[in-house]
Structure 1
Amino acid sequence: MAILLNEDTRVLCQGMTGWAGSHHTAVMIEYGTRVVAGVTPGKGGRFHLGLPVFDTVTDAMAATKANASMIFVPPDNAAKAMIEAIEAEMPLIVAITERVPVLDMLRVRDALKGSSTILVGPNSQGILAPGICKMGVMATGSERRGGIGVISRSASLTSEITQQITLAGLGQSTTVGVGGDAVHGLGMRQCFEMFLKDPQTEGIVLIGEIGGSEEEDLADFIRETRPSIPVVALIVGIHAPRERRMGHAGALNLKGRGEADAKIKALAAAGVVIASSPHLVGETIRDCLARKAA
């Protein structure tokens, strides 16, 4: 069973009338996602892509019963859009915007305190429940419904690993891009806990990278809880130079902190099976499941 998304997910798109919003919303609709509205301040009352456009998230939710928001808003106004959705009590927000200013994201984090909203991102490729719902900008075509949950900090590697899992004869329940920026919403540990609560999740794949301490925090949780399902991890950035940002705003290798080797050691010590190379992840999770079934 998928997490975060289901057949009842009704999506509104903040920033739908811009180029990126228009393009990716159309692709989401083609995939089968139930997009019900757009939100662009000053353009309320119009129609775009055959959908009503509203000035505010509150108005859109009241008129369409939307329960998820996809944010296609540029960095300078992305935090404002997130906070608007949080204050409207939107249950789920997915933000793909990259490099939202850190101070802006600290305001978003404050707005999340005490709320029931789950924020995925920013700088997330989104969430994909194969055959059910797509909220994001990820490529599709190689996904397949199944029991493997994928938690990732990397967009490109998520597409690669999704294909590997499919070619290994397995499938994905949900792929979740937690976001590559230094300050974001849903973390790897919280996402992992969601998969553990799903009785149909048969295994979990983690895709981590340098920077931050999310992988180490998750390793502590896994060591304490000792989940009964296989967990496979790929950590990239072993040879990344120090003190240089590598693509993502959060992928920064500092001496003694956020290094790939430390993350690998922590996860391995917690019982996680480490894939030695990106091209072996699908094979590794398949073999882990086979050993468990033997």
Structure 2
Amino acid sequence: MSILIDENTNVLVQGITGNEGSRAVKLMQEYGTKVLAGVTPGKGGQLVEGVPVYDTVKEALENHPEINASIVYVPPFAAKDAVFEAAANGLNLVNCITEGVPVRDAADMVSFSRQNNSVLVGPSSIGILSPGKSRLGVIGGLKEMVGEIYRPGEIGVISKSGGMTNETAWVVRQAGLGQSTVVGIGGDIIIGCAFADLLKLFENDRQTKGVVIFGELGGTYEEQIADLMKEGGFTKPLAAFIAGNFTEQMPEGMSFGHAGALIQGEKGRPKHKMKLLKEAGAIVVGNHDELGEAIKKAI
């Protein structure tokens, strides 16, 4: 098995005619992902890499009713409407790649998606990849690289950082392991799927024997993992690396990189996150390249 996407995932690309959207289509097709249609208002009737373009999600679904997932490549000001349109039309999974989405819009996107029983991954996600089955987005990069880093296996991978998603999957491969599903959740303050949400899915996935995470300073998403583990909601081995120890001496209120990497009191600091995760039973490593061997020993 896997979580979120598999060989039966049929994809709609919102914003398909833009540079990022069209590039993603090509890379997804190379991996074998079934990209059935795209949407760009006012561009209906065009073809992008052989994929038909429609003006609305409704029109795309009327012509391709088997579509069950959407990936969003639209400008920040249009992201909210795109996610709303996908969720309102019954798509079970929406992966929002768009960066720079206003916080209020992101909050509305998360709320609307939940009301419509649609799983939202992102915004600011790099994508989702279930090795050998399907990928959403450019996660993994070119065909040669994605085949080297990603192999079918038993380890789930979740990363706040888009850039470190591939790196984290790679340390799993270096330990001689493969991945079940790899998810870039995005590093914004408000995101659709946090670590804990995905761990619940991995808990019920027979293929997944353990999970590794790349966390960061700021927010409370890592703390939520500790709560979930203490409650018995995730019982499989978990290895974690929390980036940002250099910020421990920085004053409260400073922001670092991602919008969600904001120090606000003790809770958002890496050492606090690491302490809670250890107390909950997670394996917390001091160096990122130790993640692979740590989870290998634990499963």
TM-score by length of 1: 0.95
Residue of 252, 258, 265 corresponding to 2:268: 258
The 5 Å alignment of 1:135-214 reads: 135-139=136-140, 140-141=146-147, 142-214=149-221
The 5 Å alignment of 1:208-227 reads: 208-225=215-232, 227=234
Q: CA–CA distance in 2 between the matches of 1:213 and 1:124?
A: 18
Contact 2:28–2:137 (Cα < 8 Å) also in 1 = yes
Provide structure 2 residue ranges, at least 5 long, that are not aligned to the other structure.
141-145
Q: CA–CA distance in 1 between the matches of 2:231 and 2:105?
A: 34
Q: Deviations over 1:172-220 (max 9, x none)?
A: 0001111111111011111000000012211111211111111111101
Q: CA deviation at 1:227?
A: 4.4
Which secondary structure does the structure 2 equivalent of 1:25 belong to?
A: helix
Aligned pairs, how many?
A: 289
Contact 1:12–1:66 (Cα < 8 Å) also in 2 = yes
Q: CA–CA distance in 1 between the matches of 2:234 and 2:245?
A: 27
Contact 2:12–2:38 (Cα < 8 Å) also in 1 = yes
Please name the residue that 1:46 is paired with: 46
User: 2:226 is aligned with what amino acid?
Assistant: A
The 5 Å alignment of 1:89-104 reads: 89-104=90-105
Please name the residue that 2:85 is paired with: 84
CA RMSD of aligned residues (A): 1.3
Confirm or deny that 1:61 pairs with 2:61.
yes
Distance 1:104 1:226, change over 3 A: closer
Please name the residue that 1:237 is paired with: 244
Contact 1:61–1:67 (Cα < 8 Å) also in 2 = no
Q: CA–CA distance in 2 between the matches of 1:129 and 1:106?
A: 27
Q: CA–CA distance in 2 between the matches of 1:14 and 1:42?
A: 13
Q: CA–CA distance in 2 between the matches of 1:229 and 1:112?
A: 28
Percent identity between the aligned chains?
A: 43
Provide structure 1 residue ranges, at least 5 long, that are not aligned to the other structure.
290-294
Residue of 254, 259, 271 corresponding to 1:249: 259
Contact 2:228–2:234 (Cα < 8 Å) also in 1 = no
Q: Deviations over 1:69-119 (max 9, x none)?
A: 010101111111111111111110001111100111122133124211000
Q: CA–CA distance in 1 between the matches of 2:10 and 2:260?
A: 30
Please name the residue that 2:143 is paired with: none
Q: CA–CA distance in 2 between the matches of 1:114 and 1:127?
A: 23
Distance 1:226 1:108, change over 3 A: closer
Q: CA deviation at 1:276?
A: 1.3
Confirm or deny that 1:272 pairs with 2:272.
no
Which secondary structure does the structure 1 equivalent of 2:230 belong to?
A: helix
User: 1:238 is aligned with what amino acid?
Assistant: N
Q: CA deviation at 1:245?
A: 2.1
Q: CA–CA distance in 2 between the matches of 1:97 and 1:84?
A: 15
Please name the residue that 1:73 is paired with: 74
Which secondary structure does the structure 2 equivalent of 1:257 belong to?
A: coil
Contact 1:47–1:53 (Cα < 8 Å) also in 2 = yes
TM-score by length of 2: 0.93
User: 1:76 is aligned with what amino acid?
Assistant: F
Runs of 4+ in structure 1 deviating by more than 6 angstroms, as ranges, are none
